[in-house]
Amino acid sequence: MKAADRQELFSRLAELNPRPTTELEYSTPFELLVAVTLSAQATDVGVNKATRRLFPVANTPQAILALGEDGLKSYISTIGLYNAKAANVIAACRILVEKHGGEVPRDRESLEALPGVGRKTANVVLNTAFGEPTIAVDTHIFRVSNRTGLAPGKTVRAVEDKLMKAVPASYRLDAHHWLILHGRYVCKARKPDCPNCVIRDLCRYRDKTSQDA
């Protein structure tokens, strides 16, 4: 995709949604870290339902450690893979207390050293909690990047690296959210809503849907 088209693509997404953000509910970097950890292979809606019960009771590493693993499970048992996620969150909380004074670190290396936190989760926290221009490539962003021709790649990391070069600097901070939301609600996996897509004319996807499809 040409530089002018990339600029136009993000200009339109920005006009449609000037202040995009995550659909996960959180009020602190720690709450975001927990919510993103819980969101792996789960919906934001499902995670929000669980954290609405959990965070009023325990929303710090110390408070979650006090709950214990079984106590935490009782709040997140509606989320897929909750046993493994509970173990990871407890282990991460222990490291946050012992090594970081109970605070979420602001650097990638420290974040990725936490159990249950991979590159994607670290990117979300760095971007959304700390305002770093990172792009966390999930299934939605991977699909949109390949379909549109914005940043085609065969692996998540390849797409991320291309996006960091392809996204105009002025849009990089919010690109993560625009692309996720576009993939979630418009450029859907099974049947993209091409007729109502604001970037349809810029997109290189060959199998665009029609109004009658």
**So which residues are the catalytic ones?**
120, 138
Proportion of the chain in helix, strand, coil states, percent, rounded to 5:
60, 0, 40
- The token pair at 206 is 């060959």
Angstrom distances, CA of residue 115 to CA of 29, 85, 108, 112 = 16, 9, 13, 8
d(CA 183, CA 177) in angstroms, rounded, equals 10
- The residue type found at 81 is L
- CB-based contacts of 192: which residues, under 8 Å, 6+ apart? 147, 186, 205, 208, 209
Angstrom distances, CA of residue 26 to CA of 12, 30, 122, 181, 197 = 28, 8, 16, 18, 29
Following DSSP, what letter does each residue of 174-196 receive, concatenated? HHHHHHHHHHHHTS-SSS--GGG
